[in-house]
Structure 1
């Protein structure tokens, strides 16, 4: 197969006894809108005996960009994928299983996303055909550029993705020769080294289905013996590429839950006790001791904590008891004690078992059902009324100690807690005590002071049986157009003070339905503006400040003098001289030569001493020198100091040091 330009994508299809699904799989690639000139298909027949090889050869005769490789059976998908990788020449590689197929526009969309965002891995939305399980959380919305710490991407470690081939070759990635879990270490290594990940969620890219004959590898190689090597390599891959700490803990958690505890609970009881004890248990215990840090232990659920604890403590018999009864014990209720909720497992506080309470603590995992049903301003004041319903599952009615929490977003400020009135608002079901109402008076909510500027996210501290769960206040319901109606923006009466601008509060819903409040203060026009700062041409070392009153001057204290204040507390003032006949312009002359050495700050004093107007720092004002006869003709200088636009102008007054001045000249 010859082509003028290298392909954009190499699609690699491992195939073993894949009829009749194979035909739709391959033709779905041949019909891609990306175009045959930009795609090469490498199909590897892994020693099939059902006509798969001859069907691939037939398809190749109709498609010049399909290359077929026949090889002896390897027993898994990894080796034929490696064969395809060794032949691939595309900018990107896509792995497609022979029982699955692509949406017509899948490759075009994924390649465009990778090109535009310069990402190394692209996940295309997966669709279940015939009930086969597919990941869903990561495909809730498009993500042009993300990573494994900011998305749910790491929940899907199957290799059915678009990979930049240079990443694969740089890492020298190949699939291990395992029958199950062979793709997880490969994908994990790519994720952990990728320069960005993209998610295409607005198009059905990959259709995943079970074979008619039921011989999918995930079904025929599902025993523990087929999983152990792949699981070991998953743990080793994460440890290799991530330093110990919170980031590693977050990723290890996935493998502890899905590759350690899940299979151990579901598959270990199927083994004979001798084989479980001698062959599998030592390896599981090694992983628990090596990779489950205290940070990981805190992240996993109580049933998994119990398993890890028994592995660490080397209690094989108790572990087998727990996993054999796992399904029945999962249905057990809860015990509430001193504000904590515990799983009522037979081992809980059994003196003979001596398992720590933390292995049963479900407090932070109990579902909280809640809804913000109403949000509205009351009257013409600054009070925002919120109402809805909330309950902690299995714990009964709300307690009066339930509180609304206003939490600052992006700036530092203590949380503000507002009491809620329970049992008085719209609710769901028959539990009237789940209702709540909160009146938030923005004029006094912050310990008697108005709510400060910034974005405030709203939470609800839900309390029942002295158990506290804090959740983000949310509205799940939308109108027919998928929108949520927030109260209108309002100018607050408490924000309009003499000499200041207005304060507005804008309630809003985020795209996820959470509720926030944006408080903003607008600066009023100042009483006056400074229009010029210069040295007087005729009077030595005299600073001239000129300005004019603004149209909003009537609302502000009146400027009356130019004030210079030294850091040590000394003050000098000169009056503002207004032009005659009611003019709004003024001038002030400050004899800097009369100021003693030090740092002096310049402001315009008003008839309200608490409301000075800062004199801005000029951009191009040079310094001045003069001689003081009273000081034996010693030279002095004054120069403006660099400052920010919002800070008053500062002058440095000091004697000239002859030695330093000479050095500067000579230098």
Structure 2
């Protein structure tokens, strides 16, 4: 069906829907685009039928008959790959300021495009991610959608973890980069497109407070050959659109961890002999070309070992490592000269000849920590109670003393407070006293936000972690807000709180309200005496006697 051109200004969004044998989901997908609160006059819906034989084409014609904003395009020569070809066909006809790619088995929430366009307009961003949800258990990214992000980039948020193209793209960016989908791929055709857009966008926005995009059931898991074929343009795209250095290493690390290493694990299956002979040499070339010396140490120890064996062409050893990964994960650790090593069978095996760097886990040992409570002890001391230990390393309570570390934001101030072990049978259980009046070398803690860390030690190994995000259910530290004595004649307002979105513990220290003789903690109407307001509170500074005091309202 030929494209009908409408008079008037160009639409805000071109919604491109590739479809091949997409019944019955195509009806719901296209209808969700037609029902957008942005308005049909501001939409250009392009549905591309790619040789369907199940009635999809006829259903699209039926929907288009009642909607002038819906245009149906039939590919004269259906693509043999995935959705890339039909998407390219739609892109060639798009006229909107923005483009959104809608899968034929998914749907948009009614207000999705209006919110996403507003986010792009207000912040001048080229790509907008709308929160993705799934009703059937299909995995969706979560970290990037913890909160709205007005303007960020691919290196500063978790956006790169979602490379599917179900996003809002500024069309001028697409045309400037001449972006198109690899039409020959059956799997992952959207990832290089999205990666290139991310890496060149003037900014990225995230709409996280509204369920914008409802995923469909998805396609069947791809075969190994399709997975490896899809990796090639990903590495090529990352290399083409980044310069050597930290940013390129960050992107390549993602692809090595999420694409390359899983492919190596799949190749180790006994029935993949032919695929191993075909793909391992190519995967080795990618590892040599794209895993820099600076990137290599940032991989986990198992990943470093696999990549090392791949880069050195030791394919048999690589397959052995992958096949025995579950067994070897239970191997212990060696602590030596301030470093911790994974005792893998290849560690210092003279026949294996693998460098120690492949087994160094010093900076990767997890710290188990838990906040049990935070409450006032005395006039100006906040007592923090909890538990902390380095996983897999036994600590000596006399030698390995942990510290609570306070770091003031936007400054280099740091205060270290030794913790006290509070249980003889559990050296990980501790309490630390934060003295607001004298905690900084005998002087009061300065005003500002102080983030709370733990420096945990065992066998000469030290690990510092942010503290507080693991705590007892129902723990409310907001009740610990207080005005306290902060030195002779000085008072400070101290508010312990959990940060958003990560729920770590911080202290907000500021000047006490000037001239405030008390702090009101509760004000309620008397249950039986109408017109009587009952006010409860405490006099300041703490310890001031209440006898002879009057409450005056003005």
**Which residue does the alignment assign to 1:513?**
503
Residues paired across the two proteins, number: 501
Looking at structure 2, the residues matched to 342 and 58 of structure 1 have their Cα atoms a distance apart, in angstroms, of 65
Q: Does residue 103 of structure 1 match 2:109?
A: yes
**Which residue does the alignment assign to 1:403?**
403
Looking at structure 1, the residues matched to 396 and 259 of structure 2 have their Cα atoms a distance apart, in angstroms, of 39
Give the SS at the match of 2:295: helix
Q: Does residue 191 of structure 1 match 2:195?
A: no
CA contact (8 A) 1:14 1:46 kept: yes
1:401-446 deviations in whole A, cap 9, x for unaligned? Answer: 1111122322234x43221112349xxxxx8433210123345444
1:294-318 deviations in whole A, cap 9, x for unaligned? Answer: 2211222111111111122221111
**Which residue does the alignment assign to 2:431?**
437
1:422-501 map, 5 Å: 422-424=421-423, 432-477=426-471, 484-494=478-488, 496=489
Aligned CA RMSD, in angstroms, stands at 2.6
Q: How far 1:194 sits from its partner (Å)?
A: 0.7
**Which residue does the alignment assign to 2:244?**
244
Looking at structure 2, the residues matched to 138 and 345 of structure 1 have their Cα atoms a distance apart, in angstroms, of 35
5+ long unaligned stretches in structure 1: 426-430, 497-501, 525-667
1:614-644 deviations in whole A, cap 9, x for unaligned? Answer: xxxxxxxxxxxxxxxxxxxxxxxxxxxxxxx
Looking at structure 2, the residues matched to 275 and 475 of structure 1 have their Cα atoms a distance apart, in angstroms, of 45
Match of 1:138 among 144, 158, 173: 144
CA contact (8 A) 1:269 1:323 kept: no
Looking at structure 2, the residues matched to 466 and 480 of structure 1 have their Cα atoms a distance apart, in angstroms, of 35
Give the SS at the match of 1:269: coil
**Which residue does the alignment assign to 1:552?**
none
CA contact (8 A) 2:334 2:343 kept: no
Change (3 A) 1:393 1:209: farther
Q: Does residue 58 of structure 1 match 2:62?
A: yes
Give the SS at the match of 1:97: coil
Looking at structure 2, the residues matched to 397 and 50 of structure 1 have their Cα atoms a distance apart, in angstroms, of 66
1:565-580 map, 5 Å: none
Q: Does residue 202 of structure 1 match 2:201?
A: no
Match of 1:390 among 372, 388, 392: 388
Looking at structure 2, the residues matched to 194 and 467 of structure 1 have their Cα atoms a distance apart, in angstroms, of 42
CA contact (8 A) 2:131 2:206 kept: yes
Structure 1 or 2, whichever has the larger Rg, is 1
Change (3 A) 1:166 1:481: farther
**Which residue does the alignment assign to 1:269?**
269
**Which residue does the alignment assign to 2:79?**
74
**Which residue does the alignment assign to 2:539?**
none
1:459-508 deviations in whole A, cap 9, x for unaligned? Answer: 111224443221112144588798744432424015x5xxxxx4636243
CA contact (8 A) 1:503 1:519 kept: no
Looking at structure 1, the residues matched to 325 and 52 of structure 2 have their Cα atoms a distance apart, in angstroms, of 40
Change (3 A) 1:49 1:329: farther
Looking at structure 2, the residues matched to 313 and 486 of structure 1 have their Cα atoms a distance apart, in angstroms, of 58
Match of 2:19 among 15, 20, 26: 15
Match of 1:123 among 118, 129, 132: 129
Looking at structure 2, the residues matched to 171 and 373 of structure 1 have their Cα atoms a distance apart, in angstroms, of 53
CA contact (8 A) 1:224 1:268 kept: no
Q: Does residue 350 of structure 1 match 2:338?
A: no
Larger mean CA deviation between 317-326 and 120-129 belongs to 317-326
Q: How far 1:202 sits from its partner (Å)?
A: 1.2
CA contact (8 A) 2:454 2:464 kept: yes
Give the SS at the match of 1:365: coil
1:507-529 deviations in whole A, cap 9, x for unaligned? Answer: 4322232223345579x9xxxxx
Q: Does residue 416 of structure 1 match 2:404?
A: no
Looking at structure 2, the residues matched to 108 and 36 of structure 1 have their Cα atoms a distance apart, in angstroms, of 11
Larger mean CA deviation between 12-21 and 349-358 belongs to 349-358
Q: How far 1:250 sits from its partner (Å)?
A: 1.4
Q: Does residue 235 of structure 1 match 2:241?
A: no
Looking at structure 2, the residues matched to 268 and 168 of structure 1 have their Cα atoms a distance apart, in angstroms, of 39
Give the SS at the match of 1:440: strand
**Which residue does the alignment assign to 2:371?**
372
Looking at structure 2, the residues matched to 200 and 44 of structure 1 have their Cα atoms a distance apart, in angstroms, of 27
Give the SS at the match of 1:304: helix
5+ long unaligned stretches in structure 2: 515-554
Give the SS at the match of 2:164: coil
Change (3 A) 1:160 1:327: farther
CA contact (8 A) 1:14 1:44 kept: yes
CA contact (8 A) 2:481 2:493 kept: no
Looking at structure 2, the residues matched to 455 and 141 of structure 1 have their Cα atoms a distance apart, in angstroms, of 21
Change (3 A) 1:270 1:124: farther
Looking at structure 1, the residues matched to 420 and 272 of structure 2 have their Cα atoms a distance apart, in angstroms, of 58
CA contact (8 A) 2:328 2:344 kept: yes
**Which residue does the alignment assign to 2:314?**
315
Looking at structure 1, the residues matched to 407 and 436 of structure 2 have their Cα atoms a distance apart, in angstroms, of 14
CA contact (8 A) 1:373 1:475 kept: no
**Which residue does the alignment assign to 1:284?**
283
Larger mean CA deviation between 297-306 and 416-425 belongs to 416-425
1:232-287 deviations in whole A, cap 9, x for unaligned? Answer: 2222222222221112211221111112112222245366435413x211211111
Looking at structure 2, the residues matched to 176 and 165 of structure 1 have their Cα atoms a distance apart, in angstroms, of 18
**Which residue does the alignment assign to 1:635?**
none
Q: How far 1:140 sits from its partner (Å)?
A: 1.0
Looking at structure 1, the residues matched to 405 and 332 of structure 2 have their Cα atoms a distance apart, in angstroms, of 27
**Which residue does the alignment assign to 2:175?**
169
Q: How far 1:13 sits from its partner (Å)?
A: 0.8
Change (3 A) 1:283 1:293: same
